[in-house]
Amino acid sequence: MLLSRFWYVILSLALAAAIAAVFLSTAVYNAASRHAMNQALAADTQVVNWYLNDDARRRSSLLLGVCLDDTIRKQLSKASNSMDALPKDAPQETRTALKKLADGMPADNRFDSLFAVDQYGRVVGQVGFDQASGIANFELGGYPVVADALHGWVRDDTWVLDGRIYMVVARPVEVDTAQMPAGAVVGVRVVDTEYVRQLSKRTGAAVGFYAEGTVKSKAAPEGFDPSQLDTVVSDIGNLAQDKEYQEKGKSKPKILMGDVGVIYSKIAGEAWDLGAGYVVGRAAAVAASPMAFIQLSDEKDKKSVPWLIIGGIFFLCAALGIVMSIYEHSRPLHTLRVEAQRMAKGEVDMLQVSKFRGVYRKIASDLNDGTDKVAAKGGAPRKAADLESVLGPIPAQPSMSAFSFPIEGAGGAPALAGVPAAPSSPGDRPSKPGIQPPAPRAVAIPQQPSRPAAVVQPPAPKPQMPAPKPQMPAPRQEPAAAPPPPADDGDEDATVVQQVPHEVMSQASGPQPAVRESDELAEWHTVYEDFVKTKKQCGEPTAGLTFEKFQQTLKKNRDQLVSKTQCKRVKFSVYVKDGRAALKASPVRG
């Protein structure tokens, strides 16, 4: 699966590179956007300053018509000549003339208040400043801008009165050029929301005017939330420690919150000492995340993306990945599934390793090895055809008798064919040789005399059983004794089993199922103990090997062998094969 893994690595690297490029692009874009914002803020600050200066000049030009009005000049001259008190009719006539002139001014440049001041600084007449209507001897001569105008200068300034910011323009009123001005005309414009809105509209910047630690008025162009400028309130107190702001009257660009940058500038004039100024703000078009590019882009940007090329790359990469996955994963897995199904149905005993490749070849080989090891431990059931490989070779024809009955007077256990008989007293030995059976088969472990295997011994004594001697056949009817054939294991001292009298055999061959089952169970107990003992001698584990499981296995194999060979019973014995304990089954016909 090298190709698929290599392709996964390539796709992972490509995806990681794409993500890194997007994040890097986002950082570069945000840095460029903030840099552009700082430059735009510096330009906006300069533009606002130019606008304020130009507005003061335009307003001073509007005052020229007021200063040349005959009524204004006449009333100011009369008031200046009357040092004690103002002429009785001067305030009213001056107020009427000022109102007429103020109403004739353009709406965008109209003053909120106009004052006519004589040479002593007394307000002869005013319009628009209602709070001064009830004040007797109201004067403005103490303000520097008014004092300069009374001395023949055209001046502009900024006032902070009653918590509001005023843009002030003053111009002298001259009657005789050879004499001091007869007075001055002062025009006042309140810096309110309407004024700031016009300023923001003409400059394209978000502007706010602040004084006494609070924002007095603010406005912003479309797309900028003016409420974001309220955050400058918490930063105004820090301007006192800003060295550049104190020396140059303008701060460096600052980031208030998120993507909002501002520059503070002082207003030249009397308001400078009162901390009045204006702030210009802009919002940088930053991307909070790579996905924010989708929100920042418009339809034109989206159409410029080569979607066909991107789609082609996607489908090509996907097709290559699918082909590699089918070639290296799906097809071998399908082959393994098919072979496993065949093995489950019993069509094959093991997987054909040659049909697999790569890691699947190793898996198939491991499965075969594991199956063999499980079968060798007896943990896997076998079919009838594989019985020989589990229990040992099974002869086609039985070559031994499983048991024999003793002759008359014998009290010991019968001797198994191929196994030395248990010692007995001389009086118990038979006086005549018996008929020798076919060649006996060697058994790996001899049976113990105390627990004979599958020996049916008639209960003693039985009165009805005839005595052995009278029922013994005549000597002339006995066949000649043949020389004993050699045993399978080459033992010349193998015990010869004598022929049992026909009458005794007929008595013993009667149906005794309970006795046979009990004797078979006793024999299996002996085989079980020998099997466990042999396994321990061979160093094999015996944990979990109970007699119940052992008995079930013997029953199963006994039934299979009886069905196959048509024998009457099966004798099991223990032997060592390749250093491991094993069982050998011998069918018994007689």
> Which band of pLDDT confidence, cut at 50, 70 and 90, is reported for residue 379?
low
Structure tokens at 406: 């003793």
Does residue 267 contact residue 191 with C-beta atoms inside 8 Å?
no
Answer whether residue 88 is part of any domain: yes
Q: Which of 264, 298, 295, 266 is nearest to 280 (CA)?
A: 264
Phi and psi at residue 138, to the nearest 5°: -75, 125
What is the pLDDT at residue 295?
72
Does residue 265 contact residue 49 with C-beta atoms inside 8 Å?
yes
Query: What's the CA gap between 192 and 196, in Å, rounded?
Result: 6
- Do both 447 and 542 map to the same domain? yes
Does residue 282 contact residue 223 with C-beta atoms inside 8 Å?
no
Answer whether residue 498 is part of any domain: yes
Which 3 state secondary structure label does DSSP give 582? strand
Answer whether residue 6 is part of any domain: no
Residues whose CB is less than 8 angstroms from the CB of residue 16 and which lie 6 or more positions away in sequence, other chains included: none
- Do both 497 and 436 map to the same domain? yes
Query: What's the CA gap between 426 and 390, in Å, rounded?
Result: 43
Answer whether residue 246 is part of any domain: yes
> Which band of pLDDT confidence, cut at 50, 70 and 90, is reported for residue 220?
confident
The kind and range of the H/E element at 389 are helix 387-391
Which CATH number does the domain housing residue 235 bear? Answer: 3.30.450
Query: What's the CA gap between 498 and 481, in Å, rounded?
Result: 10
- Do both 529 and 410 map to the same domain? yes
- Do both 206 and 186 map to the same domain? no
Residue written as tokens 């208030």? 256
What is the pLDDT at residue 381?
52
Specify the amino acid at residue 166: Y
The kind and range of the H/E element at 44 are helix 2-67
Query: What's the CA gap between 366 and 359, in Å, rounded?
Result: 11
Residues whose CB is less than 8 angstroms from the CB of residue 183 and which lie 6 or more positions away in sequence, other chains included: 76, 77, 79, 80, 116, 117, 118, 119, 124, 150, 172, 173
* pLDDT, tens only, 121-153: 899 988 987 766 656 677 888 899 999 999 999
Which 3 state secondary structure label does DSSP give 118? strand
**Single residue among 234, 251, 283 that ends a domain in this structure:** 283
If you average pLDDT over every residue of the chain, what do you get?
Answer: 74
Does residue 219 contact residue 195 with C-beta atoms inside 8 Å?
no
Answer whether residue 18 is part of any domain: yes
What is the pLDDT at residue 515?
57
Query: What's the CA gap between 69 and 471, in Å, rounded?
Result: 177
Eight-class DSSP state of 108: T
Statement: residue 361 has pLDDT above 70: yes
- Do both 564 and 447 map to the same domain? yes
Residue, of 484 and 18, whose pLDDT is higher: 18
- Do both 397 and 368 map to the same domain? no
Residue written as tokens 């400059």? 203
- Do both 403 and 368 map to the same domain? no
Statement: residue 392 has pLDDT above 50: no
**Single residue among 157, 190, 223 that ends a domain in this structure:** 190
Answer whether residue 396 is part of any domain: yes
Phi and psi at residue 431, to the nearest 5°: -85, -20
Q: Which of 298, 261, 285 is nearest to 30 (CA)?
A: 285
Q: Helices 2-67 and 70-81, interaxial angle, to 10°?
A: 70
> Which band of pLDDT confidence, cut at 50, 70 and 90, is reported for residue 474?
very low
Per the structure, how many domains does the chain have?
A: 4
3-state secondary structure 181-210: CCEEEEEEEECCHHHHHHHHHHHCCEEEEE
- Determine the structural domain holding residue 437 and report its residue range: 390-423+432-459+481-588
- Distance from chain centroid for Cα 390: 52
What is the pLDDT at residue 577?
84
Answer whether residue 89 is part of any domain: yes
**Single residue among 251, 283, 315 that ends a domain in this structure:** 283
Range 306-323 average pLDDT: 85
Statement: residue 244 has pLDDT above 50: yes
Q: Which of 234, 225, 216, 228 is nearest to 278 (CA)?
A: 216
Statement: residue 94 has pLDDT above 50: yes
Length of the chain: 590
Q: How deeply is 303 buried, as exposed, middle or buried, from its count of CB atoms within 10 A (0-12, 13-18, 19+)?
A: exposed
Query: What's the CA gap between 440 and 403, in Å, rounded?
Result: 11
- Do both 373 and 395 map to the same domain? no
Answer whether residue 299 is part of any domain: no
- Do both 535 and 414 map to the same domain? yes
The dihedral built from the CA positions of residue 113, 119, 121 and 123, taken in this order, carries a sign that is negative
Residue, of 459 and 525, whose pLDDT is higher: 525
Which CATH number does the domain housing residue 105 bear? Answer: 3.30.450.20
Statement: residue 339 has pLDDT above 50: yes
Cα three-residue angle 151-155-161, rounded to 5 degrees: 110
Q: Bin 49: left if φ > 0, else alpha if -120 < ψ < 50, else beta.
A: alpha
Structure tokens at 73: 């000049």
Range 259-278 average pLDDT: 84
Statement: residue 439 has pLDDT above 60: no
Residue written as tokens 């109403």? 103
Q: Which of 565, 585, 589, 566 is nearest to 575 (CA)?
A: 585
Range 449-457 average pLDDT: 40
Does residue 555 contact residue 536 with C-beta atoms inside 8 Å?
no
Give the range among 64-73, 76-85, 208-217, 368-377 with minimum mean pLDDT: 368-377
Does residue 44 contact residue 280 with C-beta atoms inside 8 Å?
yes
Phi and psi at residue 363, to the nearest 5°: -65, -45
- Do both 261 and 406 map to the same domain? no
* pLDDT, tens only, 425-438: 334 444 444 434 44
End-to-end Cα spacing for the chain? 63
- Do both 405 and 545 map to the same domain? yes
- Do both 93 and 34 map to the same domain? no
